[in-house]
């Protein structure tokens, strides 16, 4: 490992109180290695409980781990579940489709919104950004932007039936969504006005990453410039219904019909290809059918007779099969992952379980009631069940993160990355602040900052320099406040 005198980097720290006047300070930091972050989600990421690639993976979660106990059950139901600021958002089917918003802290319903003209399963996974939630439904009239705390309508677009057409946002004020007229549109998040629109046939949900929008039509995987809608590249894939797309620094992954493939996000060239055995197919759940973690791609499958569902885990770097679990139930919902465990549940059947992501060993199972949707949030596994919202928490929380007070919330983007990265954090109190980079064993490797820092919001920019791949932590200590975030570097 090279000494820290080999590399010098400028770290820009931007104080929110002086951002509009001057850049308050520059810190020259010497790095001996770089890292890449396993933080697919930003703090205010619109896809609540999802990372930007629409997969339920929380890399920053280090507390949640079996064995579990049911902490509580809340008598609220929906087709899907979202959670933000101790508020549950529960989109649900019926005549009409609706969304119910429940304040868990005060144990009361905040508001409810019904989608005029809709019916059947809602088949739509909402997006949240800032103070707004974006909702549509099956046979509803279009896309609604609502105040997420009051339900007040902000704007509406007449897009018609949004069955299996979920939105994705870029955290830069844009929404990407396909509509019943087979158009993919980029909208202004605040007004709903169209910025650009292109032809895009099929029931498709886009994916966003690094100023690109990826879509999968019946025959093609297409990369678009997110600002203009210009086609950057197009790749023919095995014919089949529009599949789920997942993307990170290691590649873009397409799960469709009986094939799973990984492509280069910049060029569309194929990196690896996995052909499912005869009679097995990728399931097509509305909220997603696959999960992409730091090293594993896990996909929900079903056989052609619809008698047995299964989970397939693939090494995302090589495309090699790691393990497969076959269920007695016909449909296994899209998986969720955190802390090296992959979780899934059956579709309205009495089964929810967790598996070691590398070996497939079952480490958790509950068969006490029917389940149909899961998310991971706030150190808990939240599952919609026949009893309501069932919350699983770890019986013991003895992890390396427990010794750290997480008053300083840290995020980083993009992740994973093998190039540039931005770390954002908030110093709650002026005082001496130490920022250090540690290895997986907690050994301090580099001190990035160690001086009096004024309270405020900061961004720290880093670039790669001769760093071995692996898992690291950035630790911030500010007298009475501390924060810690797991980081991962990939080549």
- Identify whether residues 323 and 187 lie together within a single domain: yes
Q: Which of 173, 183, 174 is nearest to 204 (CA)?
A: 183
Q: Are 39 and 60 contained in the same domain?
A: no
| 61-75, 216-230, 437-451: segment of lowest average pLDDT | 437-451
Domain count for the chain: 2
The sheet carrying 270-275 orders its strands as 244-248, 251-256, 259-263, 270-275
Domain membership of residue 401 (yes or no) is no
Considering the domain boundaries, does residue 373 fall inside one?
yes
347-374 mean pLDDT: 95
What pLDDT was estimated at residue 55?
A: 53
Do both 69 and 141 map to the same domain? yes
Residue 313 domain boundaries: 56-394
pLDDT tens digits, one per residue of 84-119? 888 999 999 999 999 999 999 999 999 999 999 999
Neighbours of 117 (CB within 10 A): 16
For residues 243-281, b (16+ Cβ closer than 10 Å) or e, as one string?
A: bbbbbbbbbbbbbbbbbbbbbebeebeebbebebeeebb
Sign of the CA dihedral with 31 first, then 34, 38, and 39 last = positive
296, two tokens: 């594993």
In this predicted structure, the answer to whether residue 400 has a pLDDT above a threshold of 90 is: no
Domain CATH for 461: 2.60.40.1930
Q: What is the pLDDT of residue 467?
A: 64
Asked if residue 50 is part of any domain, the answer here is: no
Question: What phi and psi, each to the nearest 5 degrees, are found at residue 450?
Answer: -160, 75
Same-domain check for residues 363 and 458: no
> Do 22 and 84 fall within a single domain?
no
Of the candidates 347, 370, 394, which is a domain's last residue? 394
Neighbours of 440 (CB within 10 A): 13
Same domain membership, residue 239 and residue 110: yes
Quote the pLDDT of residue 31: 31
Residue-level pLDDT at 442: 72
Whole-number percent of the chain with pLDDT over 70? 83
Q: Are residues 188 and 118 in the same domain?
A: yes
* Assigned token pair, 441: 């064993």
Residue 233 Cα distances to 230, 246, 259, 265, 372, angstroms: 9, 17, 20, 9, 37
- Range in 10-19, 224-233, 400-409, 481-490 the model is least confident about: 10-19
* Residue 242: per-residue pLDDT: 61
Question: Which of 330, 364, 394 delimits the end of a domain?
Answer: 394
Environment class of 201 (CB within 10 Å of its CB; exposed 0-12, middle 13-18, buried 19+): middle
Q: What is the pLDDT of residue 327?
A: 95
Query: Are 213 and 330 found together in one domain?
Result: yes
**Tokens linked to 171:** 């955290």
Between CA 389 and CA 476 the distance in angstroms is 35
Pair type for strands 56-57 and 336-338? parallel
Tell me the pLDDT tens digit for each residue of 405-426. 446 878 877 667 677 777 888 8
Mean pLDDT of 389-408: 64
Residue 388 has pLDDT above 90, yes or no: yes
Residue 407 is predicted with a pLDDT of 66
- On the question of pLDDT at 479 being above 60, the answer is yes
Domain annotation covers residue 70: yes
Neighbours of 479 (CB within 10 A): 11
Q: Does one domain contain both 38 and 161? A: no
Nearest alpha carbon to residue 473 among 66, 62, 55:
62
Residues 373 and 281 in one domain: yes
Reduced to 3 states, what is the DSSP secondary structure of residue 473? strand
Answer yes or no: is 244 within a domain: yes
Query: Do 167 and 276 belong to one domain?
Result: yes
Residue 402 resides in a domain: no
What region does 458 belong to: left with phi over 0, alpha with psi -120 to 50, or beta? beta
Query: Which of 63-72, 426-435, 460-469 has maximum average pLDDT?
Result: 63-72
Round to whole Å and give the CA distance between 205 and 215.
7
Most confident of 7-11, 56-60, 186-190: 186-190
Token pair belonging to 157? 């677009």
pLDDT, residue 34, reads: 31
Would residue 139 be called left, alpha or beta, if left means φ above 0 and alpha means ψ between -120 and 50 degrees? left
CATH code at 68?
A: 2.130.10.10
pLDDT score of 402:
40
What is the per-residue DSSP string for 307-363? S-EEEEEEETTT--EEEEEE-SSS-BPPPEEETTEEEEEBSSBS-EEEEETTT--EE
Mean pLDDT of all residues belonging to the chain: 82
Do both 18 and 120 map to the same domain? no
The DSSP output letter for 276 is: P
Task: Decide if 403 is inside a domain.
Answer: no
Q: Nearest 10 degrees: CA dihedral of 439, 444, 449, 450? A: 160
Higher pLDDT, 438 or 489: 438
pTM for this model (two decimals) = 0.73
Q: What's the pLDDT score for residue 288?
A: 79
* Side-chain-side CA neighbours of residue 330 (13 Å): 6
Strand partners, 385: 371, 388
Q: What is the DSSP string of 199-250?
A: E--SS---EEETTEEEEE-SSEEEEEETTT--EEEEEE--S-S--EEEEETT
So what's the pLDDT on residue 396?
Answer: 63
- Looking at residue 431, what is its pLDDT? 77
């Amino acid at each position: 490992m090279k000494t820290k005198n080999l590399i010098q980097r400028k770290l820009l720290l931007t104080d929110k109180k002086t951002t509009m006047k001057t850049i308050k300070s520059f810190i020259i930091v010497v790095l001996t290695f770089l890292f890449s972050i396993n933080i697919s989600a930003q703090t205010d990421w619109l896809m609540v409980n999802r990372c930007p690639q629409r997969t339920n993976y929380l890399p920053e979660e280090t507390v949640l781990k079996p064995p579990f106990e049911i902490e509580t059950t809340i008598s609220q139901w929906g087709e899907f579940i979202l959670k933000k600021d101790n508020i549950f958002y529960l989109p649900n089917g019926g005549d009409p489709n609706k969304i119910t918003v429940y304040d868990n802290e005060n144990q009361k319903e905040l508001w409810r919104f019904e989608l005029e003209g809709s019916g059947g399963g809602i088949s739509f996974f909402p997006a949240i950004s800032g103070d707004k939630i974006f909702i549509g439904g099956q046979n509803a009239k279009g896309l609604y932007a609502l105040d997420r705390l009051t339900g007040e309508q902000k704007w509406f677009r007449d897009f018609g039936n949004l069955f299996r057409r979920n939105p994705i946002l870029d955290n830069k004020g844009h929404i990407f969504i396909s509509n019943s007229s087979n158009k993919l549109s980029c909208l202004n998040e605040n007004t709903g006005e169209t910025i650009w629109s292109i032809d895009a046939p099929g029931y498709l949900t886009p994916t966003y990453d690094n100023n690109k929008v990826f879509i999968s039509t019946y025959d093609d995987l297409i990369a678009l410039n997110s600002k203009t809608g210009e086609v950057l590249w197009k790749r023919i894939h095995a014919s089949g219904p529009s599949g789920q797309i997942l993307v990170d620094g290691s590649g873009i992954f397409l799960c469709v019909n009986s094939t799973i493939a990984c492509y280069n996000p910049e060029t569309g060239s194929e990196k690896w290809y996995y052909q499912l055995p005869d009679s097995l197919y990728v399931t097509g759940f509305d909220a997603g059918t696959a999960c992409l973690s730091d090293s594993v791609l896990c996909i929900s499958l079903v056989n052609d007779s619809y008698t047995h569902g299964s989970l397939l885990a693939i090494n995302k770097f090589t495309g090699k099969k790691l393990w497969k679990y076959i269920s007695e139930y016909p449909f296994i919902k899209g998986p969720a992952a955190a802390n090296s465990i992959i979780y899934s549940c059956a579709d309205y059947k009495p089964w929810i379980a967790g598996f070691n992501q590398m070996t497939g060993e079952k480490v958790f199972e509950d068969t006490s009631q029917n389940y149909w949707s899961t998310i991971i949030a706030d150190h808990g596994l939240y599952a919609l069940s026949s009893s309501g919202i069932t919350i699983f928490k770890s019986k013991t929380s003895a992890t390396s993160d427990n010794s750290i007070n997480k008053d300083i919330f840290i995020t980083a983007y993009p992740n994973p990355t093998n190039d540039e990265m931005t770390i954002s954090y908030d110093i709650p109190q002026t005082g001496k602040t130490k920022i250090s980079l540690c290895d997986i064993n907690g050994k301090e490797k580099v001190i990035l900052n160690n001086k009096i820092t004024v309270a405020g919001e900061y961004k720290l920019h880093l670039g790669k320099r001769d760093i071995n791949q692996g898992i690291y932590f950035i630790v911030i200590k500010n007298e009475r406040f501390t924060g810690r975030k797991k980081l991962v570097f990939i080549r």
